[in-house]
Chain A
């Protein structure tokens, strides 16, 4: 196998993240200026010191020009998109750029301005097509809602019980978001309110779905040996893994909607790159792609945090709570923080940046870091059950011996 990873060869030395929300008064340009300024400031440099940019956005700009025009650069800028993994993808590529030696300082920046369209929910980019996609007008919530009854059926969980488990996930993420000044939604939401919310698709209600918002985040990376020039608390890249699936789950009877095989493969590769043998024991926090509550449930098993068919029990037992064994989405997740597509992956890394360096606010600080549990994970997923892309990144505050 020709994939080797770049463990401990690259470090993040600065990050910035705007608040996410309905920023009627701020344009994509404004958000880009804010996040990039915060990033260079945190690294003690200026934009001039950045040699190359990887700029992620799904639908808020095309070409590197959409960044270089705003920041008045004359630098290499690659605009990229990989559905909801866009932000993580910009980081992945920026890391390879400095690891290769082609550049010394690279910036990954993501932005999305979803609230200018006037539509409720996400509107994808349209490509001229033949009108023969059986999915028709069915929405993302409907697509992901297929996970819930499949999981319930396979593992013998009563529908009402599963509904409570899903609500528990939303409740947790809102609890965490309430402790995060950058999050879109900053109020705790009681379980009963979540459970009784109007249904959107299948058994998913309004609170089972992540919000639509605007935001931007940025990270600056250098080769590990250059990191001390900028900070005494860099974050070392342990793994960057990406899988774009064959999309055969929606065309092949073998797929049962209780897992994302793309995520399983992606996580296995990440663990191999980072030398992780027991994710549940070695990972201190994980930011995962909770576009919908059943997604987070299934991810716990696909990422190896729970045994197959047991994640629902772990959720109810509080294993993934802020004060649990393995805090998941301590910053509120897509659910409470919001999901501006191009920025989300970098927003997740921003939480790892704060937590692993002891800079998260006290009310949100994870207590799970130990000498053997030292890694943070960021995970993104784009597409839907049976046809998705997946990113898994692992970082740590120390290089391995």
Chain B
């Protein structure tokens, strides 16, 4: 069987306090917060961010043989979303990139299939959970993504966790459903599926642990994820896993991130697990799916650059509820008296995919000058057609000038415009996101992030913006 080779997780920086929802709706209470994807994020852009974290090394990136993107909230139908992740990562063209869409189970399915496939597979789980205002899905949901590279154990790309066993139960049960185009899921009353899912999850987990040769009381980490909270809570006791071994489910801090949630909690476990520790990942819904892993000594050197706990701690102060509703399209605001934004046009977007999606700058082979966007004529020595490509995706830069645009239309005004000079050369004028005016100062250090900049005339536009350092933050002194 294959193993886990690397991993990464992405939580957007925005939060909505549950008490903020309650206060606006005239209720009381509400504990903790949910993670909120920015107005310029969607499941595809978050998938790219998680995948970047999992594939920091160019060598690793070059070895990916297939990409599976799982989401219950895809940005597009009919058009593959995984090809955007594939393009943004600059992967080789002869790679299968395909979506597994529809439900939380899609993520578990992608992991299960990748573990069985002989290929080196990048599995990305990404979700954006909304619900009708005032409902539990809105309150308890979260937005985020997690990415895992699975494949055979090799000397140059060793397993950080071995897949010991898998199991699954499938059941046709009308517990949660949503018609395409509907805003919110509908669910049957919660008590109905508790007696169905609980035993199914227990059955699959018991079988998988037995096949893996791990006794329930010896399991080091149990991850149980799914949108049926009561069923999930019943699993440890039903199987005999001690409560202390149940991984923190993070729902109080960031909400339940649906398809991405099993991956998010697994990533959190991997951030801290020692060698030789066993982990069971149970995904509950439409039956149950189980993966049992054991970490190796190689894990310590391949932790993701930005741990889940740090991402949780760096959440920004709560959004206003009205801002959340506006960003999710649940509150339609008055548009400005400006022309509608332009969508991307297919032919130029396809020609320029290297720059647009993978942020490939041009470097002149005659004089070494880096230029963005790329062009055939060097801006410095004027040599023609002497350029090579260079990725800016992992290059940090410094803000040399900035301004605040209070006139431009934005779902999150005002727009911050920065001019960034990159380490090693090159300059780009672009938007600064995930930031306030206080962050847009000369001398700030920034990195680039993949975003959905706008949706115009039914077409999503994807490109890069600057943000305060996150992925490329230098490790603190003394860190391993």
Contact = CB atoms under 8 A, between A and B. Distances in A.
Interface of A: 118-121, 123, 126, 128-132, 134-139, 141-143, 145-146, 149-150, 153, 199-202, 246, 248, 250-253, 255-257, 386
30 contacts: A120-B336, A121-B338, A121-B407, A128-B345, A129-B344, A129-B345, A130-B344, A131-B462, A131-B463, A132-B344, A132-B352, A132-B355, A134-B464, A135-B430, A136-B430, A137-B405, A137-B410, A138-B408, A139-B405, A139-B408, A145-B403, A199-B404, A248-B371, A250-B419, A251-B371, A251-B427, A252-B371, A252-B380, A253-B421, A253-B426
Contacts of B427: 250-253, 255
A119 B338 contact: yes
Nearest to A198: B406
Contact of B463 (A132, A150, A248): A132
B208 to A, nearest CB: 45
Contacts of A246: 379
Contacts of B464: 134
A121 B407 CA distance: 9
Given A119-B337, A119-B338, A251-B379, 4 more contacts: A131-B343, A149-B401, A201-B403, A253-B421
Given A131-B461, A142-B403, A146-B401, A136 B338 contact: no
Contact of A138 (B338, B380, B405, B442): B405
Nearest to A257: B401
Given A119-B338, A128-B348, A149-B401, A138 B421 contact: no
In this complex, which of A120, A136, A248 has the most chain B Cβ atoms within 10 angstroms of its Cβ?
A136
B478 interface: no
Contacts of B380: 248, 252
Contact of A136 (B339, B344, B348, B431): B431
A146 B407 CA distance: 15
Contacts of B371: 248, 251-252
Contacts of B355: 132
A132 B356 contact: yes
Given A146-B419, A246-B379, A202 B403 contact: yes
A210 to B, nearest CB: 14
A386 B427 CA distance: 11
A134 B430 contact: yes
B453 interface: yes
B84 interface: no
Contacts of A149: 401-403, 442
Given A121-B338, A250-B429, A142 B348 contact: no
B193 to A, nearest CB: 43
Contacts of B453: 131, 136
Contacts of B408: 136-139, 142
B442 A129 contact: no
In this complex, which of A138, A153, A202, A255 has the most chain B Cβ atoms within 10 angstroms of its Cβ?
A138
B348 A129 contact: yes
B432 to A, nearest CB: 10
Contact of A131 (B336, B337, B356, B421): B356
Interface in B393-434: 400-410, 415, 417, 419, 421, 425-431
Contacts of B344: 129-132
Nearest to B359: A132
A250 B421 CA distance: 10
A138 B415 contact: yes
A138 B431 CA distance: 8
Contacts of A123: 338-339
A121 B337 CA distance: 9
A121 B345 CA distance: 25
Interface in B311-365: 336-339, 341-345, 347-349, 351-352, 355-356
Q: Which 10 A-B pairs have the closest CB atoms?
A: A131-B344, A134-B430, A142-B405, A128-B345, A202-B403, A131-B461, A132-B356, A130-B348, A248-B379, A130-B349
Nearest to A248: B379
B337 A120 contact: yes
Contacts of A199: 404, 406
B30 interface: no
Given A248-B379, A252-B379, A135 B342 contact: no
Interface in B152-197: none
B373 interface: yes
A152 to B, nearest CB: 11
Interface in B425-450: 425-431, 442
B372 interface: yes
Contacts of B345: 128-131
Contacts of B337: 118-120
A134 B379 contact: no
In this complex, which of B342, B348, B405, B408 has the most chain A Cβ atoms within 10 angstroms of its Cβ?
B405
Contact of A251 (B339, B401, B426, B461): B426
Contacts of A129: 342, 344-345, 348
Contacts of A201: 403-407
Nearest to B415: A138
Contact of A135 (B356, B410, B417): B417
Contacts of B356: 130-132
A135 B312 CA distance: 30
In this complex, which of B351, B419, B464 has the most chain A Cβ atoms within 10 angstroms of its Cβ?
B419
Nearest to A199: B406
Nearest to B464: A134
Nearest to A140: B407
Contacts of B405: 137-139, 141-142, 145, 201
A134 B348 contact: no
A153 B404 contact: no
B338 A120 contact: yes
A251 B343 CA distance: 24
Contacts of A150: 401
Contacts of A145: 403, 405
Contacts of A202: 403-404
B403 A134 contact: no
A153 B442 contact: yes
Contacts of A126: 339, 342
A119 B403 CA distance: 23
Contacts of B454: 131, 136-137
A142 B428 contact: no
A25 to B, nearest CB: 21
In this complex, which of A129, A142, A150 has the most chain B Cβ atoms within 10 angstroms of its Cβ?
A142
B407 A141 contact: yes
A142 B415 contact: yes
A135 B429 contact: yes
A46 B148 CA distance: 79
A251 B348 contact: no
Contact of A146 (B379, B403, B410, B465): B403
